A = this chain, B = another copy of it.
Amino acid sequence: MKLKIKKTEISAGRPIAFLPWKTSAKLNVKPGDRIEISQPHSKKIIATIDIMKNLPDSEIVLSKKILLLLKKPFGYVEVSPAITTKSTKYIAKKLHGKKLSKKEIFSIIEDIVSNRLTEAEIAYFVSGVYHNGFSFEETRDLTKAMFLTGKNLSWRSGKIADKHSIGGIPGNRTTPIVVSILACLGIKTPKTSSRAITSAAGTADVMEILCHVSLTTEELKSCVNKTNACLAWGGSLNLAPSDDKLIQVERLLNLDPEAQLLASIMSKKLSVGSKYVLIDIPYGKYAKVSLSEAKKLGKKFHKLGKSFKLKIKVVLTPGNEPIGNGIGPFLEAQDVLKVLNQSSDRPLDLEEKSLFLASELLQLCNGFSKKKSDSLVSDCLISGKALKKFNQIISCQGKKPKLKPAQFKYALKSKSNKKIKEINNKELSHLARILGCPSEKTSGIFLHHHINSIIEKNEPILTLYSESKAKLSHAKKYLLENEIIKFN
């Protein structure tokens, strides 16, 4: 059935089409059903339908998501009821504890990408994987399906490298430093990062303080070709697009099934064309995993990477406490700049970890000895070459004006001489989110001390920053009522 697109801009966060009553009856669809929308020479789009009673019979209203996908968003579209999918059967199969074939996994992932599955159906899939796990073969097929259903970047020359941390450690913003050093040393790092899901900031949120991060594929390629690197947000690039949808459903309950963690990370690396991959797994009491879990997970990453013919190395790093001093987009960006500028007040733990990761990745790429790599990366940072490279990348992506620190702050001071025993990472992230992170960019926490620091009476332990007075007072209350930092 051919219908004219009516210009009524509706943003629903998902593809929705509004049909007049008579048309829906003719198509035998009701609200919540799915239809296929197409135009000559373009892909079919699947949309959920709502009924708009006073719409002329020959017209259709399309939500923004659909208009973006159409070639002629103000012309005509062909509309038909969507064919039912077999993927729900495969999801039920996993939920009942059975192993899925490659074909079945591809069907599910393709249907997620094309909007053929509802969020509730995706939630069942996540639960199924969460409860019954995925075998190695299933995880490999999931990874393959996830990256093949999106855009893939390819590079004519050069060694393409990437690093990834599984997260969970506040302030752990090594990526911009590692990428700048490697780019200096001739390694191509088309780095894409995510925004915060449950943390105070993701690398994309931090980079956005300094430059634009929503690049098109062309802008990304141009930046990498000019500077050897980029520090972009992965969300706007359509790389492994099923991952965004899966994460959206997982975050409803903060679930993170292991197979999806593995496939999510690996599919992103494969889609940007990486051949050398370093995985950082922080472990510890307040990290995402314990040391023994980290070892197991590391082996799985290694096996998965090898099956895609990647040169892959996994490092396990202590994750008992935050890295650096700042927590939150603005404050973490300050930490990164201090290290690159070699400021006297730079966070040495962040510098040390960044140098370690850069050296490990360089060894993997070039086969250099540890000694040679250590010296090369260290020289790159001390000499200011890494800073210069970082500034090049920022200019290339589009530099942003400087921000001022948040207006409202509160310093928690020590009432006696004492020594820090433990810092609860999760609670600290939660506190930063109460302060407004990640959407309020200059809100956050500055941690003046780390574990084993001896703090003297009246010295500040940490300072809370917020763009909103109410949020600061809410966070202050939360800080005083919960034992986020333990002392000896």
Contact = CB atoms under 8 A, between A and B. Distances in A.
A54 B123 contact: no
Given A95-B255, A253-B91, A54 B8 contact: yes
A443 to B, nearest CB: 15
Contacts of A126: 124
Interface in A6-41: 8-14, 16, 18, 30-32
A404 to B, nearest CB: 22
A327 to B, nearest CB: 22
**Number of identical monomers bound together in the oligomeric complex:** 2
A266 interface: no
B120 A131 contact: no
A51 B11 contact: yes
Interface in A38-56: 50-54
Contacts of A428: none
A50 B120 contact: no
A95 B253 contact: yes
Contacts of A254: 92
B13 A253 contact: no
A349 interface: no
Contacts of A9: 52-54
A115 to B, nearest CB: 14
A293 interface: no
Interface centre among A63, A95, A118, A120 (most CB of B within 10 A): A120
A408 interface: no
A121 interface: yes
A210 interface: no
Interface string A114-130: 00001111111011101
Interface in A58-98: 63, 88, 91-92, 95
Nearest to A28: B439
Contact of A123 (B50, B51, B63, B123): B123
A92 B252 CA distance: 9
A124 B253 contact: yes
Nearest to A249: B120
Contacts of A127: 95, 123-124, 127-128, 131
A71 B130 CA distance: 44
Given A119-B119, A120-B120, A131-B131, A30 B53 contact: no
A63 B30 CA distance: 14
B12 A50 contact: yes
Given A120-B123, A123-B120, A127-B124, A11 B95 contact: no
Given A50-B63, A52-B10, A53-B10, A88 B253 contact: yes
18 contacts: A9-B54, A10-B51, A11-B51, A12-B50, A13-B30, A13-B32, A16-B50, A88-B252, A95-B255, A118-B119, A119-B120, A120-B123, A120-B252, A121-B123, A121-B252, A124-B252, A127-B127, A127-B128
Given A13-B32, A92-B255, 18 more contacts: A8-B53, A9-B52, A10-B51, A10-B53, A12-B31, A12-B32, A13-B30, A13-B50, A14-B31, A14-B32, A95-B255, A120-B122, A121-B252, A123-B123, A124-B126, A124-B127, A127-B127, A127-B131
